[in-house]
Amino acid sequence: MNSLHELLVKRRSIRRYKDEPLDAEAVKLILEAGLMAPTSKNSRAWQFVAVDDKDMLQRLSQCKPAGAHPIAKAALAVVVAVDATKSEAWIEDASAAASYMQLQAADLGIGSCWIEVRDRYQVDGTPANEYVQELLGIPEEISVVCILSFGYPDEERRPCDTSKLHWENVHIGSYKAND
Stretch that binds ligand FMN, among 10-18, 27-35, 38-46, 125-133 (CB under 6 A): 10-18
Could you tell me which of 106, 171, 118, 175 has the C-alpha nearest to residue 142?
118
Q: Which residues pair with 47 in a beta bridge?
A: 81
The verdict on 13 binding ligand FMN (CB under 6 A) reads yes
Q: Which is nearer to ligand FMN, 78 or 115 (CB)?
A: 115
Phi and psi, residue 113, nearest 5°? -140, 140
Q: Which residues pair with 50 in a beta bridge?
A: 78
Q: Which is nearer to ligand FMN, 25 or 161 (CB)?
A: 161
The verdict on 113 binding ligand FMN (CB under 6 A) reads yes
Q: Which is nearer to ligand FMN, 119 or 141 (CB)?
A: 119
Could you tell me which of 44, 117, 108 has the C-alpha nearest to residue 77?
117
Site residues (vs ligand FMN, CB under 6 A): 12-13, 15, 67, 70, 113-116
